[in-house]
Structure 1
């Protein structure tokens, strides 16, 4: 077991697996392997790197995304983590995509100091606020899309439906649709449109005015 030499690692991160590479301090490629993006996969990845020597640092691509959990795990285990930029997409298209090659290239960047980014933190109150803001943005976007879809349906609806709903403020429109009883004859255009427009369930009145 070569646990007396110093090594540098890098991880090319993905959704379902991470491609890891290890090289020694003079740049010789020692090994490359892939590991699943699970807690057990992270433990196996670190154990595998340590089999090749004393791990000086590990470059992780995408510490704010696919590599966030791995970066946290390595940090907890007192491994120095470097945030590595992903290879240029144009170069990838010209030369082809190779995860092992990408991992070795990034490990070289870590070894010779070309990569020195600090890993993005994904913990504490900053991460909590980030998650809440992300969910809120998604909810606002979905709400806007839904309202736009409703108003588009109203424009082409039969006159009986269109004239009752056209021009209503959003909160009145949603409240009116929530109270509607469209009927069961979906062969009738008016009934069909009313069924499409009716929400799955009534919204709390405190939220309808926002």
Structure 2
């Protein structure tokens, strides 16, 4: 059940037709909503459960105060994802709102109602203007596949390290039979060790090596299957990216996730560059004219652009000529690579704008 709303001084919602702005501070079990007028005056606030009925009640409550068209929602990629989807389905413009800045929190304190009001004011003032990702198509599928694959890769690496650590302390006879083998041969050999009940240190070592090797094989198969799913989604929805030099499935999926299922939310190639953290940041002083590293943006997308730039710098003559020209202009190699990443971001942006309408079902070969 929703809590009793805190309304304006007259005590009752009054749908006058005047535009109102909704702000929501999202949490796992309940969302706190606040409504403000175009002049920034708080009209009301209330708490609603994170259920389908709670979403309906929240929207009906907010619409009772006027013409509701825009909503600022915190955490549209986590706790606010469900609410953001519902509001979009109801034809509202959902704006992604970052947490209030620390200076504002020092001045006004921290409560859920204050945060919800801050979200509404961020939309009203224009400080928050980025349309939230829809997260309802193949890009969201890619994000999930990458999440699971990263977990499998991490667990596999951990298991390999554990297996090698066990070998270091194993009996000399067993250790000698495993020394010098490649990782693939080592794992295959350990997985085929006798499946005997552990009764002492020697048999416990064999038992542990067998279990770890089998776990590694399972995780390897899982990682490969997830990689096949990622490639299938990319081939179905963004083959243009994979056809470009230096762009593989990992880099392509990272860049698509940054753009989202609705890349039209980016109004220019400069906005995509900012999302990737490759837009130039001036660091000039006196007679020195230079730009420094942008430490903002999505660092996974930034790393993907760096991998593309690095690959092209080694195997693409046009890229090599560009880097040589920038170096002759006085830029360091690092600064030239930053410029190259910015140009690659522009190229990727135009490719994203050319993508076919979203098809959430990957086609298999």
Matching residue of 1:58: 71
Unmatched 5+ residue regions in structure 2?
A: 1-12, 225-365
1:194 to 203, 206, 224: 206
* Aligned counterparts of 1:96 and 1:179: Cα–Cα separation in 2: 62
Give the drift of 1:2. Answer: 1.6
Matching residue of 1:175: 188
The within-5 A match list for 1:3-18 is 3-4=15-16, 5-18=18-31
The structure whose residues are more often strand, as a share, is 1
Matching residue of 1:152: 165
When normalised by structure 2's length, the TM-score is: 0.51
Unmatched 5+ residue regions in structure 1?
A: none
Bigger relative CO (Cα 8 Å, ≥ 6 apart): 1
Matching residue of 1:67: 80
The change in CA–CA distance for 1:73 and 1:154 in structure 2 (over 3 A counts) is same
The within-5 A match list for 1:1-210 is 1-4=13-16, 5-88=18-101, 92=105, 97-186=110-199, 188-199=200-211, 201=214, 203=217, 207=221
Give the drift of 1:35. Answer: 2.4
Per-residue CA distance 1:107-146 (angstroms, 9 max, x = gap): 1121222221111231222222222222222211211111
* Aligned counterparts of 2:195 and 2:183: Cα–Cα separation in 1: 20
* Aligned counterparts of 1:8 and 1:63: Cα–Cα separation in 2: 17
Paired residues, number: 207
Per-residue CA distance 1:164-199 (angstroms, 9 max, x = gap): 22332222222222222253244x111112222222
Check the 8 A contact 2:69/2:92 in 1, yes or no: yes
The structure whose residues are more often helix, as a share, is 2
* Aligned counterparts of 1:127 and 1:140: Cα–Cα separation in 2: 20
SS in 2 for 1:199: helix
* Aligned counterparts of 1:161 and 1:173: Cα–Cα separation in 2: 12
SS in 2 for 1:198: helix
